[in-house]
Amino acid sequence: MQSKIAVLEDLSDRTDTQVKQLTQILDERGKGLQSKMVQAEETLMKIEQSMRKTLDVAEIFQDKVPHQEILERNQQSKYVQAAKFANSGQSVDEILAKIDLPRSEVEFIAKVNREDLTFNPELLPEWAKNKRVDDVFQAPKTDLSSLQQIEAGFKRAVREVADLEKQAKPTIRSVKFPRIIVDRAQLSRTVIED
């Protein structure tokens, strides 16, 4: 009887030790997940601040460029595009189909720029280098690749933590304790015999 009780106590001690170890592992994993979440929140805050600054700068820029200057740039861009089309061998009619300019101006531009451009394309301002006139004053397309990389990294980190938690979860196995059936007659005999 003493040996069976000792076995039960030993099993109980082992179970307690395993539970403590698993609890400690889960706590460590939880702390790791919390630190990853804090890092993700900090990154999101930085992104939001950057986006706010970008929008502020865009607002300032929009306020600084007067309407008349925009119209002038648009007209100049049409001339640049017409010159490039003429230099590439397109006819006056083809250029007129693409760009809204008077025929006389397109004919003059084509005549002057047919052989060689009268300007150096590399020295043009950025707004005049666009390939299409319609794109000159379009808002720049936002590059979201860095945000997508951050999102992918965050999702990857969450998956890793979830996988680690799955691995660390204790598998509760049913512990089968030996069944002790006490027969009073045997117990009394055992006591008497001892």
Whole-number percent of the chain with pLDDT over 70: 73
The predicted pLDDT at position 144 comes to: 64
Residue of 102 and 120 predicted with greater confidence: 102
Return d(Cα 168, Cα 22) in angstroms, integer. 7
pLDDT at 172 over 70: no
Residue-wise pLDDT tens digits, 116-146: 888 888 877 777 776 554 444 444 455 667 7
pLDDT at 188 over 50: no
Residue-wise pLDDT tens digits, 52-87: 888 877 776 666 556 677 778 888 888 889 989 999
The predicted pLDDT at position 120 comes to: 81
Highest mean predicted confidence (pLDDT) among 51-60, 99-108, 149-158: 99-108
Q: Are 178 and 7 in contact (CB under 8 A)?
A: yes
The predicted pLDDT at position 149 comes to: 78
Residue 71 tokens read as 């119209």
Average per-residue pLDDT in the chain? 76
Residue 150 CA, chain-centre distance (Å), reads 3
The predicted pLDDT at position 191 comes to: 44
Count how many residues are written for the chain.
194
Residue of 172 and 79 predicted with greater confidence: 79
* Strand spans (E) along the chain: none
User: For residue 113, with 0-12 CB atoms within 10 Å meaning exposed, 13-18 middle and 19 or more buried, which class applies?
Assistant: buried
pTM for this structure? 0.36
